[in-house]
A = this chain, B = another copy of it.
Amino acid sequence: MKATSRTAEPADGAKKSQRRQQREGEILAAAREVFLDKGFERASVSEIAARVGVVEGLVFRYFPTKRDLLNEVLHALYKPLISDVGEGFSRINGLRGRLRFIIWRHVRVYTETPGLARLVLHEVRTGPEYLGSVLHDLHVQYTDFLRQTLVQAVADGELSADVEFEMVRSMVYGGLEHMMWPVLYGGRSVNVDTLADRFSSALLHGLQLGAVPADGVEARLARIEALLAAAPAAPAAKPRPNKPA
C-alpha cells in the first residue's frame, strides 16, 4: 500500500498550493459551463479565460490543451455519477429494482445536466480517439452496472442465460438517449419517475422475464406430453400461471 500517512495531505494534492487549486477549480467550473453550453468545438478557450477573469494563456498553464481541459471537466462530472450509481447498485437487490434505478438515475442525468449528455454523446464519443481513451473507460465503468445487474440476474435465475447484454445495453442507453432528445434540444421536460417506470417496465417485458423461459416450457411440455401419452385420462388442470406483469 502506498499511503504512508493518512492525516497528511494526499501525495498528489499536496503539491498544489491552495491558490493553484482554487484557480484550477475556477477554470474547471468556467470550462464546464462553456463546454456544456456550446459543446467542444464551438467553445473557445478565450471565453473560458474571460469568464474566470484571467488571460487566455493562463488556462494553458493549468491544462496543456483544450482537449485536456475537456477531459478533466468530464472526469469531474463522471466521477460522482459513477459512485452514485455504484452506491445505488449495492443498496438495491433484484433485477427489477436495479434496472429501474439505473434507468431512473440515467434519466436524471439528462434532466439535471443536459449539457453533459449533449457533450458526451455528440462531441466526445465522436472522435476516432475515443475508443480506448480515459473517457471511454469512465463510460464503461458507468454502464458496467447494467452488465453486472444482468449477470447477477442470470445467476439468480431471474433471467434466461441467453440474454444479449449488448442489445439490452443499446436499448437502455440508446433508447433513453432517443427519448430524451426533446429534453436536450427541445426544451421539453419529463417526469423522471414516470419515465423510469414505463421504460423499465417495457424493457423487462422484452427480457422474457419470469418463470417461463423457453427451455423450461419445452421441458414442461415434453414431460406433460410424455405423461399424457402414458396416462389414459387427465383430471382438472390448474389454470396456467401467467407471468406477473
A234 CB within 8 Å of chain B: yes
CA gap between A220 and B156 in the complex, in Å: 28
Q: How far is the CB of A5 from chain B (nearest CB, A)?
A: 16
A240–B228 touching, CB < 8 Å: no
What sequence of 0s and 1s flags, for each residue 146-158 of chain A, a beta carbon within 8 Å of any chain B beta carbon?
A: 0000000011110
Number of interface residues of A (CB under 8 A): 81
6 residue pairs, one from A and one from B, having the closest CB atoms: A206-B206, A174-B178, A228-B234, A231-B234, A232-B233, A231-B233
Q: Are B243 and A212 in touch, CB under 8 angstroms?
A: yes
| Interface of A (DSSP majority class) | helix
Contact indicator per residue, chain A 93-128, by CB within 8 Å of chain B (1) or not (0): 000000000000000000000000010011101111
Minimum Cβ distance to chain B for residue A182 (Å): 7
Q: Which of B168, B220, B245 contacts A244 (CB 8 A)?
A: B245
Out of B126, B178, B221, which one reaches A177, CB within 8 Å? B178
With contact pairs A174-B177, A228-B227 given, residues A243 and B157 touching in the complex (Cβ less than 8 Å): yes
